[in-house]
Structure 1
Amino acid sequence: MIDKENSMKKTLITLAAGLVAAFGVVSAQAADIGLETFGGKQIVPENPKRVVVLDFAALDTIREIGAKETVVGISKGRIPQYLAEFDTDKYANAGTMPEPAFEKINEMSPDLIIASARQKKVLARLKEIAPVFYMENDYENYYPSFEQNLLALGKIFNKESAVKEKLAQLDNRMTALAKLTAGKSALVTIVNESRISAFGDKSRYALVYQKFGFTPIDKNLSSSTHGNSVGFEYIAEKNPDYLLVVDRTAAITDKANNAQTVLDNALIKPTKAAKNNHIVYLNAENWYLAFGGLQSMDTMISEIESAVK
């Protein structure tokens, strides 16, 4: 009887050990962590091994902190040139940013999907496939929300120290930049075909004023994702020292130099920005497609430095 009981105990111990061996690692990988960003409180898996990234800024940051080996699929569409290494068959096509390919994403069996405002309307469908980390920015406090998103990514991938180090470097660069831009007024615009939108200090480009140091030429511009529609007369009337231009058309099509053509007219030529060669045509890929990544932010600072020195 005792021998039989001992035998049963040994069997149970063996089974338990087998279960630990089989599922222990999976359990560790599936541990959830809590995050709080402007996008809300979120619960996501820690240290995911298979990640689908639907946002170029997030892809930029993941590469910069040394976690790109986790990426199995990305939004393809028009990939910014500085992220061209991801435009290969090694990374599955997850559709475009506005239109994710849900069935293909499901086939990738991701542990985590990283989404942003361009996927806000389809978050529920993405969450049916896998946990989603959603990134969104606070236009009135852009840079703090940017930092929150990056620190959250650092926590997800166990790369918090790398994120903090890079954010400190950006802070130092922006402090130096603000000294160069002190007392200079600016207006950030997006040119989309022949249409112009202006962005103030409570917009997607608020950091130009809040962190880069420019004085907003118009403090009455409303907070808006797509900016405030304006014309040539408005720009001439406000007459900023610097006119910062994002050519959306160039970012999403093969039509180069669209903004330069649009702004080459008799109303813009007499402005201070035009006369002083201070109409700055920004890198549209960085400022429109990948806005908010670690490398893109560093490049943006360099662009403004070159413009004001």
Structure 2
Amino acid sequence: MKKTFSSLITGLIATFCLLSAQAGEIQVENFAGRQSVPQNPKRVVVLDFGALDSIRELGAKDSVIALAKGRIPEYLSEFAQDKYKNAGTLPEPDFEAINALEPDLIIASARQQKVLNRLKEIAPVFYIDNDFSDYYRSFAANVRALGQIFAKEDIARQKLAELDTLVEGLQAQTKGKNALVTLVNESRISAFGDNSRYALVYQKFGFTPIDPGLSASTHGNSIGFEYIAEKNPDYLLVIDRTAAITEKANNAQKVLDNALIKQTEAAKQNHIVYLNASNWYLAFGGLQSMKIMVDELQSAVKK
């Protein structure tokens, strides 16, 4: 009888602990689907700069204990401090270091997609995912989900409303203007259309795509100087991947410094815009980085 009573008490305690743990979890939804995550985590490892950006904007940076420290964008430089531990790089997380930190939550994104199961063995994971065919909507869903996770839902709504107002102002300025988004990687050039990772330039920011026929591709469509000269966009928007991930500054400017590009209207009108490579390539998808992107384009169309 004593053994039965003892077993009953043990079972009740286990049930209580389980219910308590479940009570601390919430369901959030983004393009990746519904995810069960802990609410108000106190020890968070962040493997996505856009998420790190948004967490800071939501007023929850004190929960961050570690991040991927390779090539931190300038506007996130405060996270280079020693009090934030190094969790490896975006493509190669340091699993041993992350495990030793005993996080409550790990925030991951597409660059860690292949190692998600390994991360989930360490702690619950919130996976940031985006719909490139409707990027801005999926970005907003990620921000709202982070607002739920950190109990900052009102701030998330406010920040998104403020950003919507800025975007509307940009749309008024870009109306009737066409553009081509390009990414320069060493000497190679890729073009991105209105169904790509940079589709929001057309779909949300208001530029008309110079080539609606570009295929949907995460890595863009390979092009040459002749293509740019033939399409002759009003605005040539350039993301220098090489500058974003290496010490080679102004690589894209050197690549595009040739006679064919100089003949384009974009060159003649000073409308070749070299975008902030770190923000557009590494920190893509954060509240502040999105504002920086809008500001960059507003400055470009005012020229």
Is the structural similarity TM-score above 0.5? yes
- Check if 1:295 corresponds to 2:299: no
Unaligned stretches of 5+ residues in structure 2: 1-8
Q: Structure 1: which amino acid aligns with 2:146?
A: L
- Quote the residue 2:119 is aligned against: 126
- Distance in 2, matches of 1:290 and 1:221, equals 24
Specify the alignment match of 2:218 in structure 1: 225
Which residue of 175, 178, 199 corresponds with 1:182? 175
Residue among 246, 250, 257 paired with 2:239: 246
Q: For residue 267 of structure 1, what is the aligned residue in structure 2? A: 260
Percent of pairs identical after alignment? Answer: 71
Residue 200 of structure 1: aligned partner: 193
State the one-letter code of the partner of 1:245.
Answer: V
1:9-48 aligned at under 5 Å gives the runs 27=20, 31-48=24-41
Work out the CA distance in 2 between the residues paired with 1:284 and 1:135: 21
| Structure-1 separation of matches of 2:62 and 2:174 | 39
Counterpart check, 1:64 vs 2:34? no
Q: CA RMSD in A?
A: 1.9
With structure 1 as the length reference, what TM-score do the two structures score?
A: 0.91
Structure 1 residues 108, 30: CA separation in 2 closer, same or farther (over 3 Å shift)? farther
Residue 3 of structure 2 corresponds to which residue in structure 1?
none
Moved over 2 A (4+): 26-30
Structure 1 position 77 matched with structure 2 position 70:
yes
Aligned partners of 1:87, 1:172: CA distance in 2, in Å?
32
- Once structures 1 and 2 are overlaid, which stretch shifts more, 28-37 or 81-90? 28-37
Matched, 1:92 2:81: no
- Hey, what's the Cα distance between the residues in 2 that align with 1:64 and 1:35? 19
Contact 1:29 1:47 in 2 (8 A): no
Displacement, 1:33? 0.8
Q: Which amino acid aligns with 1:156?
A: I
Counterpart-to-counterpart distance in 1, 2:282 and 2:20: 36
For 1:36 and 1:294, how far apart are their aligned partners in 2? 18
1:183 counterpart letter in structure 2: G
Code of the residue aligned with 2:70 in structure 1: it is G
Paired position in structure 2 for 1:282: 275
* Match in the other structure for 2:6: none
Please, which of 282, 297, 300 is the counterpart of residue 304 of structure 1?
Answer: 297
Q: CA deviation digits over 1:7-27, x for unaligned, max 9?
A: xxxxxxxx99xx8xxx98x93
Structure 1: gaps (5+ residues): 1-14
CA distance in 2 between partners of 1:31 and 1:221 (Å)? 46
Q: Note the alpha carbon deviations across 1:183-224, whole angstroms, 9 max, x for none.
A: 000000100000001111111111100111000001111111
Letter in 2 for 1:187: L
CA distance in 2, matches of 1:223, 1:40: 22
Deviation, structure 1 residue 84: 0.6
User: Quick one: which of 102, 106, 109 aligns to 1:109?
Assistant: 102
AA partner of residue 272 (structure 1): E
Distance 2:48 2:253 in 1: 28
1:303 and 1:89 map into 2 onto residues whose CA distance is: 31
Q: CA offset at residue 41 of structure 1?
A: 1.7
Cα distance in 1, alignment partners of residues 194 and 272 from structure 2: 19
SS of corresponding position for 2:261: coil
Q: Aligned to 2:47, which of 46, 50, 54?
A: 54
Q: How far 1:29 sits from its partner (Å)?
A: 9.1
- Residue 28 of structure 1: how far off its partner (Å): 6.7
Decide whether the 8 Å contact of 1:247 with 1:284 is kept in 2: yes
Read off the aligned partner of 2:188 and give its amino acid letter. R
| Residue equivalent to 1:8 | none
Number of equivalenced pairs: 291
Please tell me the residue identity of whatever aligns with 1:147.
A
Q: Which one of 150, 154, 161 corresponds to residue 147 of structure 2?
A: 154
> Would the aligned equivalents of 1:30 and 1:46 in 2 still touch at CA under 8 Å?
no
